[in-house]
Structure 1
Amino acid sequence: MIYTLTLNPALDYFLTFDSFVEGNLNIPKETYKLPGGKGINVSKILKNFNTDSVCLGFIGGFTGEFIKNSLSCDGLNTNFFDIHEDTRINIKINNNGLESEIAGTSPTISKENFEELLNFFKTNLKANDILALSGSVPSSLPPSVYADIIENIPKDVKVILDTRGIPFEIALKKGVFLIKPNRDEINEFFNSNFSTTEELIAAGKKLQEMGAQNVLISLGSKGSIFITKENIFIGGVPKGTLISSNGSGDSMIGGFIYGLNKSLSLKECYEIGIASGSATAFSKGLATFDTMTNLLKDIEIIKL
């Protein structure tokens, strides 16, 4: 089974304006609401690819109910844990193409809430399951939260870790199957300014020494680098018109997990990941199976 965890989900409220003027009454020309969260996006991609997963996380209040009901209507499996405070609301403003975001305050997650989640992992996860740990950690939880989860699941669970900062560093030491930092996150982690392919590969190998079996470094429009135990691959980006990069990293992970669940080779998982992330970047919304497969033929990967 595939599980995705979003510790800090949100109701994302999108507003589009022709002209937003600070200090004035502004009426948007378009609004819509979606469940937000990196792990949720991974599960959405998997659902688009006709692959089941279970969304885990903490939700509360009317905003939490919206997330749960919306995902259920889309056919996703969920197992959320109820908290007392409302799930946060993120406001995303598009002002004639200029995008801004107001991040909502995270609700409090109690020690009892977290123990309930840990008990779920202890009881339900089995060897060879896949677990995606994605996104930021609310301030009410300890930075060791992802590491604590890894310690409470079978060793053969394939953990995909997509976070940053201290939670990333602590969890990495416990050993994970895959990490997906971007260039900025690599430089932040090592307090450096790596720019060349050689420097980034060296940094990726250092991350392997620290606990990652596989390292996927996303470079935006310049492609990506994938480092396994045996090989190093450089992947390009297929041609297309960028509409929005929002969710493309999560889509890359979703595509990779799809391939992993099909027992494909790591190189094939990487190809599908690139196609999935690119299809989302070239779409209004997340990639579909068709938009992903249409790009597969255009993926170019070089083995070093």
Structure 2
Amino acid sequence: MIYTVTFNPSLDYIVTVPHFTCGMVNRTSEEKIFPGGKGINVSMVLKNLGLENTALGFYAGFTGNELERLIREKGIRADFIPVKEGMTRINVKMRSDEESEINGQGPAISEADIKTLYEKLDRLSDGDVLVMAGSIPDVMPQTIYMDIMKYLADKDLKIVVDATKDLLVNVLQYHPFLIKPNNHELGEIFGVKITEKEDVITYAKKMQEKGAGNVLVSMAGDGAVLVAEDGSIFQAEAPKGKVVNSVGAGDSMVAGFVTGYLKTGSYKEAFQMGVCTGSASAFSEELATEPEVLALLDKNKGIFK
């Protein structure tokens, strides 16, 4: 079974407001609501690609109830932990002459809630996949990723971590199966600016020296690089297409990689699936579907080396 964990999920309220003006009444021309959060995005794309999975996380209030309903509506097993105080956050994303975002805070997660999460993680069995993605709310220990990996160290799991800075660096000693920084995040860890694939390879190998297995690095319009745990290296240019919505593209890349690897056992196939899944989401209003991914794979065979 595949499990995802989202510590601070959201309802993403996306509104289009032509020519937004501060201090005036502005009316929307379009509104959409989606489940949000990096782990939840991974869950939704995994489901779109045909892989059953369970979404773990915390929810609260009427917004939490709606989040759970939307997740279940998409056919994903939702095993969220109810939090008594606060509510699941609403993130407002406004499209106008300039794009703006207002992100909510999230509920007051208690020590008892965290204990319940560990009880759910006890159910994981050897061979399962666990994806932990996204930021940590201020009310939770900032070591939670590392704490969970230490807690699960005796199990034969494939753990994927998509996080930044110390959240990512601190887990490396527990040998995650896959990490997915982008080139800017990778450079930030080492205090350098990374723009070239050769530099990505150099610093991805340094992450492996610290304990990472596979290092998948996205580079937006410049493509992507995979430094695999077996020593192989794969590179790709970015597939051609019009970027409609970049939100969730990185999460989609993770879901595509996991899907490709579980279906084929090949890092090469996993990398190609990951790149095309990330791009398929970027080229769409919503997250990638399997037909969109397969179409990109068919059209873009020449971008990989």
Q: Same fold (TM over 0.5)?
A: yes
Q: Please say if residues 125 and 155 of structure 2, whose CA atoms lie closer than 8 Å, have aligned partners that are also in contact.
A: no
TM-score by length of 1: 0.96
What secondary structure does 2:195 align onto? Answer: coil
Q: Which amino acid aligns with 1:140?
A: V
Q: Which amino acid aligns with 2:235?
A: I
Provide the rounded CA distance (Å) in 2 between the counterparts of 1:86 and 1:239: 40
Paired residue total: 301
Displacement of 1:152 in angstroms is 2.1
Q: Which amino acid aligns with 2:301?
A: I
What secondary structure does 1:173 align onto? Answer: helix
What secondary structure does 2:174 align onto? Answer: coil
Provide the rounded CA distance (Å) in 2 between the counterparts of 1:191 and 1:23: 41
Q: Please say if residues 194 and 200 of structure 1, whose CA atoms lie closer than 8 Å, have aligned partners that are also in contact.
A: yes
Provide the rounded CA distance (Å) in 2 between the counterparts of 1:176 and 1:155: 12
Provide the rounded CA distance (Å) in 2 between the counterparts of 1:262 and 1:288: 16
Q: Is it true that 1:185 corresponds to 2:185 in the alignment?
A: yes
What secondary structure does 1:20 align onto? Answer: coil
Q: 1:1-304, aligned counterparts within 5 Å? A: 1-84=1-84, 85-96=86-97, 98-122=98-122, 124-153=123-152, 154-229=154-229, 230-297=231-298, 298-300=300-302, 302-303=304-305
Q: Please say if residues 58 and 82 of structure 1, whose CA atoms lie closer than 8 Å, have aligned partners that are also in contact.
A: yes
CA RMSD of aligned residues (A): 1.3
Q: Please say if residues 204 and 227 of structure 1, whose CA atoms lie closer than 8 Å, have aligned partners that are also in contact.
A: yes
Provide the rounded CA distance (Å) in 1 between the counterparts of 2:64 and 2:187: 35
What secondary structure does 1:212 align onto? Answer: coil
Displacement of 1:198 in angstroms is 2.1
Provide the rounded CA distance (Å) in 2 between the counterparts of 1:197 and 1:260: 23
Provide the rounded CA distance (Å) in 1 between the counterparts of 2:172 and 2:88: 28
What secondary structure does 2:55 align onto? Answer: strand
Displacement of 1:302 in angstroms is 4.8
Q: Deviations over 1:7-45 (max 9, x none)?
A: 010111111011100110111111121110011011101
Q: Please say if residues 238 and 303 of structure 2, whose CA atoms lie closer than 8 Å, have aligned partners that are also in contact.
A: no
Structure 1, unaligned runs of 5 or more: none
TM-score by length of 2: 0.95
Structure 2, unaligned runs of 5 or more: none
Q: Please say if residues 160 and 178 of structure 2, whose CA atoms lie closer than 8 Å, have aligned partners that are also in contact.
A: yes
Which segment drifts farther, 192-201 or 52-61? Answer: 192-201
Q: Please say if residues 64 and 87 of structure 2, whose CA atoms lie closer than 8 Å, have aligned partners that are also in contact.
A: yes
Displacement of 1:301 in angstroms is 5.3
